[in-house]
Structure 1
Amino acid sequence: MRPSAPSLGPRIESVLADLEARSGKEQQELEALRAAGGTALRERAGSFMLDVGPEVGLFLNTLVRVSGARTVVEVGGSVGYSTLWLAEAVRATGGRLYSIEVDKDKQDEQRANLIAAGLDAHVELTTCEAPELAESLPGPIDLVLLDHWKELYIRDFEACWPLLRPGGLIVADNVLVPQKNAEVIGRYRRHISGLSDAQSQMLAVGDGLEVTTKREDFPVD
């Protein structure tokens, strides 16, 4: 169920509602594949949204707005559910969203959903991976969402971290669910804990979020 929030406008709400209905239908099959273990889910990933859900979507939208983020990077856009929440927020801040989705079929759906919602002008879609995108960005990054293969979280965190402005945020999804990711997520969290300029907190929002901010330098009185 969608958490209580101000309306995002009829076009955006309509596309989100359609995607939420689709996601609901996919959950039972996803749970069966996760229970099966092995490579079953990875082999079928292209046919599922694997979206963040409305609670995380609203959280991300709010985070962009309250932080005033203008350069936002999404790693793992899928068919565009989280993209819509982020794009609506960067429209409000006067910013731009750079969204990575390496599956071309999913990106085609993502583009169609952005157009249907009237948000396509605020988003640059790409199939390149995070290290390549980071090198091409015009300025510092304000916020990053990691929501793709967990084995790549450290690599893509490291690609974005040097470009993240002081006070900027990196949000990693699925740090609590599914449990099969516990080992790789543990490595990700230990990696962050070893950084002197990082402050991080796990939040029980959706399937679990790790929210990491780059410490700002304050003068010592």
Structure 2
Amino acid sequence: MLDDRVRSVLARMEAQDADDHGKDIPVSERSLAVGPDSGRLLFALVAPNAGCEVLEIGSSHGYSTIWLAAAARILGGRVVTLEQEPGKIDVWRRNIADAGLEEWAELVEGDAKETLSELEDGFDVVFLDAWKDDYEVLFGLARTKLDPGGIVVADNVTTSSTVEAYAAARQADPTLVSVTVPIGHGLEVTTVLQP
């Protein structure tokens, strides 16, 4: 749940992002990977599912991880996060600890295109927020780790032709049901009907 400790860290990160935005710090160096509305949607997708196993591909400073882990802990789930940027990893660890969510969030360091293959199957929800040029490859790898009926949420799908093509491909695939949700810079929410 969103206890005071979690809310405090989220509020601090939101304030830091607003400050970074005002200083024109590049998005790649900012602390907030998704906005609060996207965080709430992720929370809503995970929280009601007992034992929900979440895979997060790309974590930045852990803002989305906090939403996901706070939701997963309600009914005994967990989040496995993949991240390769050393500076982001250190900040992620501090933010997760500050939020008191270490028990529900595990970080796997390295390139997701390599570390994904080492993970066991059985995830219920995947949150994809990595380099946009890698979305197709990462979706293909992550799909093999999902249980039937699993959900993939991809961020920023209305920001470039590359990710717009990703969303169109999901919507055209008869083994999936997919919709673009107009929150933030667009979230593609995809349910896998067939593995």
TM-score normalised per structure 2: 0.91
1:190 aligns with 168
1:36 aligns with none
2:21 aligns with 27
Contact 1:73–1:98 (8 Å) recurs in 2: yes
The equivalent position to 1:102 in structure 2, one of 84, 94, 98, is 84
| Bigger Rg over Cα | 1
The equivalent position to 2:41 in structure 1, one of 59, 68, 82, is 59
Counterpart check, 1:17 vs 2:11: yes
Fraction of identical pairs, as percent: 36
Counterpart check, 1:143 vs 2:108: no
The equivalent position to 1:83 in structure 2, one of 65, 72, 92, is 65
Structure having the larger proportion of residues in helix = 1
Gaps of at least 5 residues in structure 2 are none
CA distance in 1, matches of 2:143, 2:10: 30
Counterpart check, 1:203 vs 2:181: yes
CA distance in 1, matches of 2:51, 2:185: 23
CA distance in 2, matches of 1:207, 1:187: 15
Contact 2:153–2:187 (8 Å) recurs in 1: yes
After TM superposition, what 4+ stretches of structure 1 lie above 6 angstroms from structure 2? Answer: none
Contact 1:101–1:126 (8 Å) recurs in 2: yes
Gaps of at least 5 residues in structure 1 are 1-6, 34-40
In structure 2, the CA distance between the partners of 1:185 and 1:174, relative to structure 1 (3 Å rule), is: same
Offset of 1:195 from its aligned partner? Answer: 2.7
CA distance in 1, matches of 2:38, 2:186: 9
Counterpart check, 1:167 vs 2:149: yes
The equivalent position to 2:100 in structure 1, one of 107, 111, 118, is 118
Aligned length: 195
The Cα offsets for residues 50-86 of structure 1, whole Å up to 9 and x where unpaired, read as: 4211111111011001344621111110111111000
The equivalent position to 1:8 in structure 2, one of 2, 24, 27, is 2
Contact 2:33–2:63 (8 Å) recurs in 1: yes
Offset of 1:173 from its aligned partner? Answer: 0.7
Letter in 2 for 1:76: G
CA distance in 1, matches of 2:180, 2:50: 22
TM-score normalised per structure 1: 0.81
Letter in 1 for 2:170: I
In structure 2, the CA distance between the partners of 1:190 and 1:100, relative to structure 1 (3 Å rule), is: same
Contact 1:154–1:191 (8 Å) recurs in 2: no
